[in-house]
């Protein structure tokens, strides 16, 4: 069974379809707090089931810490019954103070779980000491030299992993652990799989002015020992 996406008019109505399983997997990745709200939740929900069902949970994520596990059915979130994956995601993102109350069914037993979602900006700062923002204006990198725009380093906490590695405000972060750093989502997800003490490579670009008309871009890779 598939979802029709195109029809070849000269081929007697021959159609092209995407398998439903692939559509479901894509929807599960699209409608997440990570993508829509820059919030780390760490669980995926299977669309198209009633009640909605947890399909997988990232170890040590907010969802895992709250007690969510694969195959649990989601009965309520913040006192409401989610009618769809979209509604569930909207309720998660809108949870007051990022704290969601979930009622799940597991082995015919109802359980109430409390999940505290973590903003990626906070996660990144807690683990590295970096405060990041969009690389615009003076911090923007030329597209003919760099494939991604990167993220501007706005602030470096004293005595943090980033400070000890020599990172400074004004640099542009271009990759973390081999992942292009174009959004908080990219950086956050690159860090969620690591624990305190892990060593992660990061690449930054330093811009220096040479005279009045020239800029020099120097890229370097350093390692951070995460908190």
Residue 39 has a pLDDT of: 98
Calpha distance 7→46 (Å, rounded): 28
Q: Domains in the chain, ordered, with CATH?
A: 17-116 (2.30.42.10), 120-225 (2.30.42.10)
pLDDT, position 23: 44
- Say what the pLDDT of residue 62 is: 98
Distance in Å from the first CA to the final CA of the chain: 47
What's this model's pTM, rounded to 2 decimal places? 0.84
Taken in order 120, 121, 125, 126, the sign of the CA dihedral is negative
pLDDT the model gives residue 208? 82
111 φ/ψ angles, rounded to the nearest 5 degrees? -135, 145
- Residue 138 is predicted with a pLDDT of 59
pLDDT at position 1 is: 46
Going residue by residue through the chain (227 aa), what tens digit of pLDDT does each one get?
Answer: 444 545 555 555 555 554 544 444 555 567 899 999 999 999 999 988 899 999 999 999 999 999 999 999 999 999 999 999 999 999 999 999 999 999 999 999 999 999 999 999 999 999 999 999 988 765 667 665 666 789 999 999 999 999 999 999 999 999 999 999 999 999 999 999 999 999 999 999 998 878 787 778 899 999 999 99
Tokens of 34: 């990570």
> Angle at Cα 222 formed by Cα 217 and Cα 227, nearest 5°?
130
């Amino acid at each position: 069974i598939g979802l029709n996406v195109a029809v070849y008019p000269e081929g007697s109505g021959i159609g092209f379809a995407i398998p439903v399983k692939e559509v479901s997997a894509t929807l599960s990745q699209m409608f997440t707090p990570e993508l829509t709200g820059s919030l780390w939740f760490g669980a995926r929900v299977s669309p198209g089931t009633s009640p909605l069902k947890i399909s997988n949970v990232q170890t040590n994520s907010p969802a895992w810490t709250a007690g969510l596990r694969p195959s649990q059915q989601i009965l309520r979130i913040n006192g409401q019954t989610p009618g769809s994956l979209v509604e569930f995601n909207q309720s998660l993102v809108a949870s007051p103070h990022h704290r969601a109350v979930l009622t799940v069914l597991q082995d015919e037993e109802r359980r109430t779980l409390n999940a505290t979602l973590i903003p990626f900006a906070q996660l990144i700062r807690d683990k590295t000491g970096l405060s990041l923002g969009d690389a615009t204006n003076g911090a923007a990198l030329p597209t003919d030299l760099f494939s991604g725009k990167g993220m501007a380093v706005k602030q470096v906490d004293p005595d943090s992993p980033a400070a000890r590695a020599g990172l400074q405000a004004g640099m542009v972060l271009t990759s973390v652990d081999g992942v292009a750093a174009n959004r908080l989502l990219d950086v956050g997800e690159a860090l969620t799989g690591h624990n305190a003490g892990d060593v992660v490579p990061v690449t930054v670009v330093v811009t220096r002015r040479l005279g009045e008309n020239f800029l020099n871009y120097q890229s370097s890779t350093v390692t951070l020992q995460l908190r």
